[in-house]
Amino acid sequence: MLFWIIAALLTLAASLAVIVPLASPRRRAVGERDHDIEVYKDQLKELERDAARGLIGAAEAEEARAEIGRRILKIASRDDGTKEALRKRSLVPVIATGAVLAVPLVSWGLYAAIGSPALPAQPLSARLGADPAKSSIEELVARAESHLASNPEDGRGWDVLAPVYLRTGRFADSVAAYRSSIRLEGETPARLSGLGEAIAGAAGGIVTAEARAAFAKAAELDTKDPKARFYLATADAQEGKLEDAATAWRKMLQDLPAESPWRGAARDAIAEAERRIAVARGEAQPGPTQDQIDAAAAMSDTDRAAMINSMVEGLDAKLRQNPQDPEGWIRLVRSYAALGRTDEAKDALGRGLQALDGSSEDGKRLLSLAASLGLALAQ
């Protein structure tokens, strides 16, 4: 409402700027010539000053005076621009009316087309001061951020914010937040393993040396910390030490309480490790057999492409029937991406996430793979 009042007042003021001069009583025009003559008179006076100061010789001054005099005479002999004055007088009311109407019509018309009168201003401070219960997660994060920006030494704040960043996929911010909370509040297994997870997340799921160091420290402080143990084993697996990794996961599975959310992840990891160990030993496996690979090497390019495509499509069909296969989805997405079939890769990613639930451990692996391949989820 306030906006409309202001808009109306502004329009009124602008209209008055047009109406008032139009409506004021007719003034008689000061002759055009008078302005010119004013300048030349001033020039004459300047000349007198210069002459009095000796800046200009008497002869030159006399010449200049004559020249300015000639200009004045020339102006005086000119007609005063009034010859057109009586022409087209009938146009005046038309132009005046048009001008007065143009101000509100153009402004309100144009504003109606491009303005957003219903949208209130949203200064950041006011938004941060709003009721937290009604806030979205972004608002809460922004609120925490603005608090921490002014109180960067508030370790508890960083402690709260770090896992939120991690869950929303802002890994780099999460790393920084975990580091701050560790610096201010000290090392705990949860903070250290969170830091490791954030570093690994930022690296696209790879447990880097830095992440590993964080997990190792967490495991040192608490030998039972499941996250640290899980990721340390994952690091082994990523380095190709599958036996070690499987052993670690098995031990972890024994120690975990029955209701632990890590049991599923550990079991899947063991299954995957065993499968890969089997592949490495040349036993039965879902991937291409040695024969197939040899055959592929002997084929022409087109034949090989056809074979690869048929294998990928076979996998796709299998996953449509049995979607609860995280490794399968990862293989499928990677294959499509490698073949350059980006749309299908995205489609497979979407189906995989639906089947595995994006927030599960497997879903996250799939997501980080997609991120590393540069795939974005199709809208």
Partner 1 sequence: MIVEAGHFALVLAFALALVQSVVPLAGARIGEMRLMAVGGPVALAGFALVGIAFAALTATYIQSDFSVANVWENSHSLKPMLYKVTGTWGNHEGSMLLWVLILTFFGALVAAFGRNLPATLRANVLAVQGWIGAAFLMFILTTSNPFARLDPAPFEGRDLNPILQDIGLAIHPPLLYLGYVGFSVCFSFAVAALIDGRVDAAWARWVRPWTLAAWMFLTGGIAMGSYWAYYELGWGGFWFWDPVENASFMPWLAGTALLHSAIVMEKRSALKIWTVLLAILTFSLSLLGTFLVRSGVLTSVHAFATDPTRGVFILAILVVFIGGSLSLFAWRAGSLTAGGIFHPISREGALVLNNLFLTTATATVLVGTLYPLVLEAVTGDKISVGAPFFNLTFGPLMLPLLVLIPFGPLLAWKRGDVYAAAQRLMAAFGGALLAMLVTWLVVDRVTVFAALGVGLAAWMVLGALTDLAQKSALGTAPLGVSMRRLAGLPRSVFGTALAHMGVGLTTLGIAATLAFQSEHITVMKPGDVADIDGRSLRFEGVAPVRGPNYTETRAQFVFAKDGRTLGEISSAKRLYTARQMPTTEAGILTLGLSQLYVSLGDATSNGGMVVRVWWKPLVTLIWLGGLVMMIGAAVSLTDRRLRVGAPSRKARTAVAAASQ
Region 40-79 residues binding partner 1, contact defined as CB under 8 A: 40-43, 45-46, 49-50, 53-57, 60, 63-64, 67, 71, 75
Least distance to partner 1, CB of residue 372, Å: 19
- Applying the rule CB under 8 A, the residues between 274 and 303 that interact with partner 1 are none
**Binding piece for partner 1, criterion CB under 8 A, among 110-118, 162-170, 188-196, 211-219:** 110-118
- Residue owning tokens 């076979």: 314
Nearest approach, Cβ of 158 to partner 1 (angstroms)?
A: 15
CA 291 to chain centroid, in Å, comes to 49
Q: Is 255 in the site for partner 1 (CB under 8 A)?
A: no
Binding of partner 1 at residue 14 (CB under 8 A)? yes
Q: Is 204 exposed, middle or buried (0-12, 13-18, 19+ CB in 10 A)?
A: middle
What is the C-alpha separation between 375 and 204, in angstroms, rounded?
13
Range 319-348, binding partner 1 (CB under 8 A): none
Tokens (6 digits) for 72:
């004045």
- CB nearer to partner 1: give 85 or 378: 85
Stretch 136-165 residues interacting with partner 1 (CB under 8 A): 138-139, 141-142, 145-146, 149
- Considering only residues 77, 125, 290, 300, which one is a binding residue for partner 1 as defined by CB under 8 A? 125
| Under 8 Å between Cβ of 325 and 305 | no
Question: What residue spans of the chain are helical by DSSP H?
Answer: 2-23, 32-53, 58-77, 91-114, 124-128, 137-150, 155-167, 171-185, 189-202, 209-221, 226-238, 242-255, 262-280, 290-298, 301-321, 326-338, 342-356, 361-373
Among 51, 65, 107, 350, binds partner 1 (CB under 8 A): 107
Return the residues of window 74-103 that contact partner 1 according to CB under 8 A. 75, 81-82, 84-89, 91-92, 95-96, 98-99, 102-103
- Residue 307, judged by CB atoms within 10 A of its CB (0-12, 13-18, 19+), counts as middle
Two structure tokens written together for 15: 């209209």
Interface map 258-277 toward partner 1 (x if CB under 8 A): --------------------
**Residue 17 within binding range of partner 1, rule CB under 8 A:** yes
| Residue 24 in the binding site for partner 1 (CB under 8 A) | yes
Measure Cα distances from 47 to 36, 57, 59, 272 in Å: 17, 11, 12, 102
In terms of CB distance, is 44 or 277 closer to partner 1? 44
